[in-house]
Amino acid sequence: MESGRETPRLKVKENWFRGVVIALVLVWTFQLISVIYRRRNRLKLPPGPPRWPVLGNLLSLGKMAHHDMANLSRKYGELMYLKLGVVNSVVVSSPEMAKEFYKVQDSVFSGRPRGFQSKVMFYDSQDLILSVGDHWRFIRKVAAVELFSPKRIKEFTDARREEIMITALQMLEKGKAGETVKADGVLLALSFNNITRLLFGKTYYGPKATGEPADSAEFQRLIMANNAAGFLVIGDFLPFLKFLDLGGTKAKMRMNAQAFDAFLSKRLNEHRMKGPSEQSGIAIVDALLQIQREDTALTDNTIKGLLLDMILAGAETVSDVKQWALTELMRHPEILQKVAVELDDVVGRDRLVEEADLVQLTYLQAVVKETFRLHPVLPFLVPHESLADTKVAGYDIPKGTRVFFNTYGMGRDPKIWEDPLTFNPDRFVNSPINVKGQCYELTPFGSGRRICVGLNYAMILIDFTLAQLLHMCELSLPHGMKPSDVDVEESFGEQITVPKLHPLEIMAKPRLPLNVYSEAGVIF
């Protein structure tokens, strides 16, 4: 009876307590919002489009976000403010403004955003691309000395040549059989095999992979699964929705992360079991394990994060650039003819291209630069983040602001480029503009201290592949197809890169005397 009489009192007390808690939370939330609002009103932020409550400008960006950002920047200027959920963001859309971020205040804007993907896929930002501070400086030094030094790049000259020969042979065999070649497939296989041969001394992509069949099948499955997973996690922008997994992106990332970790751990164990005396010292993983024996700061997770950077960030970007270049050459036969004439003048028709020839292939280099300008495969690069409150051009940039470099918009800006929508490599002939990071109108690899450490290696892969394939193969469109029929539609949304939506299909036949191929070991 006593307990029965006390129950209503307990419920009243419980409801009163809940009411007090809710009231306190509402008061605290109101005070917090007021503080943020007052602080934001005191800040002089860059101009930008109107924002929705809570969502900010998220609804302003659709599936083709790089198009939307370019259009908004034309309206709001070279430095634009966006509120992406709770994330302060600025969009940089002029070479002059890019210089301010890349050079003048490089140290302030050298941070990287951290989100679900960096935590789950990249070992809580233990990799090179997403790490910051002392850890980043340590990993960058390792990468610069052991992965992409001139000596290391030279060591893999023969390997690069062999992989390109395999690709050329596949294309010529298809041509001989009267079949078309889908450029995205052969170029992607070439990129992945170049990367994994550099990392592990084996290839894992395509029918001619040299790794164990089960490992090759798993690697190819992982690449396809990662491409299908997407990269946008809404909880990174709207923290109160972290409990949601829209589209299953987080679950897919977790599964991919576990599978990649198992694949990479197996590679580390294989090379570790060899022992130092059995390792060739050429494969990158062997060099990293040697460093680890001398410096335990290089943990297994850091090594795996670095390897994953190269696999996921290095292969597809390089492949996409090459496909866009070939697409534009197929659309412009007169430009393709100029490339052919230069190859014949520099290399001749009695031998194949060597990497030493690349420095003299200035028109081909102009084609690649023009491809970077008109078809940037990383339209925002990898976003930076401000490490402290600062001012730029008289505007306040709060700490933690995300910085997007609008390379897509700058590449198509008539204030920077004459006739910007026309593919015209001649604009780079005898031009001082390069892609090394000091010419802020063209920074496909970024600039400043966060510039891509693999820039030189990527450029060799792009230039050498295009030069060799265009010298060995006479490329043409399928029968009945005109240059004007080749589309330049883009795909964007699932990943941060912009590949061609519809794969380029081409025909290939020998361009050189047949004895040149046989002497090079290419028999078809």
User: How far is it, in rounded angstroms, from Cα 307 to Cα 127?
Assistant: 8
- Name beta bridge partners: 87: 84
H helix or E strand, kind and range, residue 519: helix 514-519
The DSSP-derived string for 210-263 is -S-HHHHHHHHHHHHHHHHH-S--GGGT-GGGTT--GGGHHHHHHHHHHHHHHH
The DSSP-derived string for 143-209 is IIIIISSHHHHHHTHHHHHHHHHHHHHHHHHHHHTT--EEHHHHHHHHHHHHHHHHHHSS--SSTT-
Residue type, 463: D
Residue 13 CB neighbours (<10 A): 11
Instruction: For residue 5, report the phi and psi dihedrals to the nearest 5 degrees.
Output: -70, -25
User: How far is it, in rounded angstroms, from Cα 488 to Cα 320?
Assistant: 12
CB-count exposure of residue 178 (10 Å: 0-12, 13-18, 19+): exposed
User: How far is it, in rounded angstroms, from Cα 353 to Cα 410?
Assistant: 34
User: How far is it, in rounded angstroms, from Cα 126 to Cα 114?
Assistant: 11
* Residue 452, annotated as binding a ligand: yes
HSE at residue 196, side-chain half, CA atoms within 13 A, is: 25
User: How far is it, in rounded angstroms, from Cα 267 to Cα 194?
Assistant: 16
CB-count exposure of residue 69 (10 Å: 0-12, 13-18, 19+): buried
- Residues of each annotated binding site for heme: 452
- Residues of each annotated binding site: 452
